[in-house]
Amino acid sequence: MRLPLREANEFVLYTNSMRSLCERKTLQKKCKALYAYCSYVNRVKQNLKAKMPAANAVEEALDYAIAENLLEGYFKQQKMEVINMSLTEFDQEQYDRNRRRDAYLDGREEGERSGIFIGKQEDARNMLADGLPLEKIVLYTGLSVEDIRALEAAPATV
């Protein structure tokens, strides 16, 4: 069995950028090869996090993959290729930049959603103050009836 390692590496980078750990775990459970490769990659990452030099981190993870017979012996058959690909493909600084960028984008998206929701609440309060019917406020703001009723019950904040 010959796994296209470059494509697998790119796919793992994609799955690492997924927002939900549950999505990754579910996906990995459905694909035995992906699960095995992710196990290897995660072992490398753990080793690097433990301050192991990159070459040693890859070699230890590879020994683990071979001992566990991950990918049905692929790691053992292609040991040098895996080492070379792992050391040339993995860039810790780029990985860290990508993680920071993803965290920034997640925070920004969350902030935007929160700001939009707060704006809708302010609009709904104004509409309530003007006496607009509940159905119109729901239609214009997109807020739920429950959200608007909660605004009616809560005192306005400045």
4-13, 61-70, 86-95: segment of lowest average pLDDT: 4-13
Tell me: the pLDDT tens digits for 77-106? 888 888 877 777 666 677 788 888 888 998
Contact, 40 vs 61, CB < 8 A? yes
Q: Which two tokens stand for residue 62?
A: 């590879």
Pairwise CA distance, residues 89 & 81, whole Å: 11
Element housing 155 (H / E): none
Q: Residue 82 burial by CB count (10 A; 0-12/13-18/19+): exposed, middle or buried?
A: buried
Q: Tell me the residue type at 71.
A: L
User: What is the DSSP annotation of 18-52?
Assistant: -S-HHHHHHHHHH-HHHHHHHHHHHHHHHHHHTT-
User: Global pTM?
Assistant: 0.44
**For 17-158, where are the alpha helices, taking DSSP H only?**
21-30, 32-49, 54-67, 74-77, 79-89, 92-129, 134-141, 145-153
Tell me: the pLDDT tens digits for 55-65? 899 899 889 98
